[in-house]
Amino acid sequence: MSLDLLTYLFIGGSFVLYIGIAIWARAGSTKEFYVAGGGVHPIANGMATAADWMSAASFISLAGLVSFIGRDGAAYLMGWTGGYVLLAMLLAPYLRKFGKFTIPDFVGDRYYSQTARLIAIICTIVISFTYVAGQMRGVGIVFSRYLHVDINTGVVIGMAIVFFYAVLGGMKGITYTQVAQYCVLILAFMVPAIFMSMQVTGHFLPQVGLGATLDSGLSVLATLDKLSIDLGFAEYTAGKKSTVDIFCLTAALMAGTAGLPHVIVRFFTVPRVKDARTSAGWALIFIAILYTTVPGVAGFGRVNLIQTINGVDNAGTSYETMPTWFKNWENAGLLGWKDYNGDGKVQYAAGAAFDGSKGKPAFDGDARGEHGERAVTNAYANPTAKPGVPFANEVYVDRDIMVLANPEIAQLPNWVIALVAAGAVAAALSTAAGLLLVISTAIAHDLMKTIINPKISEKQELMYARMAAVVAICIAGYFGINPPGFVAQVVALAFGLASSSVFPVIVMGIFNKRMNKEGAIAGMCVGLGSTMAYMIYFTFMGGDKADLFLGISTGGFGAVGMVLNFIVAYVVSMMTPPPPAEIQDIVENIRVPRGAGEAHAH
């Protein structure tokens, strides 16, 4: 069967499955809409959390990122999994015992303040919107590459599907679709990874395969180190960023992960406090299956990529004999080649191949060069090879294509390629749906029902929630079609916000009975303000990298913002009156599991 037909079958089949589940699990009450009725089994919730959490970034981008930056990629691997330890021990059980629907519920009630509630609502909405834009883009890329529709049509199809099950099914529909989506995405990630591990090393498990010794007598990692040095890259297994930067980045990602609203809200859906803990354990197992495979995929992918492009003799491969995947991704605009040394061969080495931001090529429409390659308008006039490297870099390879192109580079059967496409779509849609639900809950429940008009009936509230979901989907779709040119930076902002505001304010609310509203509000404002100011100054206002605080990059500053939040909140709370007795009773109460009952409305 042809690849196109298979891809249509796999993606179409998965859509039918999701829609079927959505119809079976429609929501009838606000409780079903917000927390799936509060009766989800911990294993099912663990899978749903894993699918919710593993976005297009985890599925499509992470292995590519690790592949290109080597050991420093550990900050993402540890940051995005270690956060679950914090979530399980510091947040999930207590928030479940608290037993409302949302983060603003907790912040507003615990700090007896509508101002604190409003800040929490704004954080929730900003974090979720920045995140969702990237997901819609991911759907668009997959559709445009595999189904030959343009990116915009792809985004619209993705919107329609999410619309169907998020608006109709609410949390209940989303939970059970996410269980199915987890199965699709993990299969799609593992099958090619196992194939590649078998091909490269003969080991079945990619986790073990990465440490294996190749026929050449060198281990995979030693081979990567050698290839990297030969081509002028830094050693694969050595760190490049400063230790303090990696430390802060890891801390910000961990606290950010634990503070992301769409992840936290999943723990409101289980029946008991005990289940919230167990569920975090299951979620991390399901996530770890993918995350521990990533280093293998990154390593094998990099070896395959370098050896395919440069050939075994490290002299390059002529463009005419390049495999089809190279040309396909070139047509999709994510690869580019310029024959600097005029030998007709494609050669890959360290350094930017083109004079653009991050070395990206600017294509001259559909014009072609003498070998049939896409013509590029921003080639360098006199590119120089790095010392000791026989040629200058001629290729731009977008990091995001690694996972999607891996099966083609490794010449796996067509059904594997189709499966990967379906998996990428599942990863993007499941996360998008979770985020959209959080946005609609924040608007209907926290803003309309709790702050603006507490008198609305449950039916009206449900209607507002659905309307808010519709508006949110349209806005998300708009960002998918017209992506801001800085999606990656914006996602860093989402983690920065979560780690510098949401995470500390909840932890203090549980572990410090003396914490009052003055302290919490001051802490959130300082944490949020400093983090946003730092990121905006260095990302958008052209701040000089030499002025970075201790050399900490914008992605890691959330950790500093978090520390500032804790300090300011503590000092301010000590100078102001303690919270009222009934608030202290709430804190006493959430610390003890018994009596959690069901997640309840006001």
- Residues in contact with other proteins by CB under 8 A are 66, 71, 73-74, 77-78, 81-82, 84-86, 88-90, 93, 207-208, 210-213, 219-221, 237, 239, 243, 246-247, 250-251, 254, 272-274, 277-278, 280-281, 284-285, 288, 291-292, 295, 588, 591-596
Nearest residue to 552 via CA among 535, 540, 528, 568: 535
Residue 336, beta-bridge partner list: 396
Contact predicate 131/438, CB 8 Å: no
The minimum distance between CB 67 and other proteins, in angstroms, equals 12
Q: Which is nearer to other proteins, 239 or 356 (CB)?
A: 239
Phi and psi (nearest 5°) for 214?
Answer: -85, 175
Q: Which is nearer to other proteins, 246 or 490 (CB)?
A: 246
User: Burial, 217: exposed, middle or buried (Cβ in 10 Å; 0-12, 13-18, 19+)?
Assistant: exposed
The minimum distance between CB 447 and other proteins, in angstroms, equals 32
Q: What are the CA-CA distances from residue 177 to residues 24, 31, 138, 451, 579 (Å)?
A: 10, 18, 19, 31, 42
Strands in 377-529 per DSSP E: 395-397
Tokens of 139: 């759907």
**Separation of alpha carbons 261 and 251, rounded Å:** 18
Q: Which is nearer to other proteins, 194 or 212 (CB)?
A: 212
Residue 443 is given by DSSP the state I
> Using CA of residue 57, residue 101, residue 433, residue 36, what is the dihedral sign?
positive
Q: Which is nearer to other proteins, 153 or 207 (CB)?
A: 207
Q: Which is nearer to other proteins, 187 or 214 (CB)?
A: 214
The minimum distance between CB 475 and other proteins, in angstroms, equals 35
Q: Which is nearer to other proteins, 550 or 592 (CB)?
A: 592
The minimum distance between CB 47 and other proteins, in angstroms, equals 15
Q: Which is nearer to other proteins, 101 or 291 (CB)?
A: 291
The minimum distance between CB 82 and other proteins, in angstroms, equals 5
The minimum distance between CB 103 and other proteins, in angstroms, equals 21
Containing 337, the helix (H) or strand (E) segment is strand 335-337
Judged by DSSP in three states, 317 sits in strand
The minimum distance between CB 194 and other proteins, in angstroms, equals 16
- Residues 6+ away with beta carbon under 8 Å from 128: 261, 262, 435, 436, 438, 439, 442
Q: Which is nearer to other proteins, 496 or 556 (CB)?
A: 556
**Separation of alpha carbons 109 and 69, rounded Å:** 44
Phi and psi (nearest 5°) for 185?
Answer: -70, -35
Q: Which is nearer to other proteins, 26 or 241 (CB)?
A: 241
The minimum distance between CB 62 and other proteins, in angstroms, equals 12
Q: Which is nearer to other proteins, 250 or 450 (CB)?
A: 250
Contact predicate 491/130, CB 8 Å: yes
Contact predicate 72/240, CB 8 Å: yes
Angle between helices 581-590 and 503-511 (to 10 degrees): 100
Contact predicate 287/84, CB 8 Å: yes
The minimum distance between CB 90 and other proteins, in angstroms, equals 7
Q: Which is nearer to other proteins, 115 or 219 (CB)?
A: 219
Residues 33, 38, 43, 44, Cα dihedral to 10°: -20
- Residues 6+ away with beta carbon under 8 Å from 73: 62, 65, 66, 67, 295, 298
The minimum distance between CB 219 and other proteins, in angstroms, equals 5
The minimum distance between CB 359 and other proteins, in angstroms, equals 25
Contact predicate 83/255, CB 8 Å: yes
The minimum distance between CB 41 and other proteins, in angstroms, equals 15
**Separation of alpha carbons 385 and 402, rounded Å:** 25
The minimum distance between CB 594 and other proteins, in angstroms, equals 5
Q: Which is nearer to other proteins, 142 or 283 (CB)?
A: 283
Contact predicate 64/401, CB 8 Å: yes
Containing 421, the helix (H) or strand (E) segment is helix 414-441
Q: What are the CA-CA distances from residue 4 to residues 1, 14, 60, 148, 475 (Å)?
A: 8, 15, 20, 9, 30
Q: Which residue is listed with tokens 């024959």? A: 339
The minimum distance between CB 88 and other proteins, in angstroms, equals 5
Q: Which is nearer to other proteins, 83 or 477 (CB)?
A: 83
Tokens of 77: 């691997």
Q: Which is nearer to other proteins, 236 or 340 (CB)?
A: 236
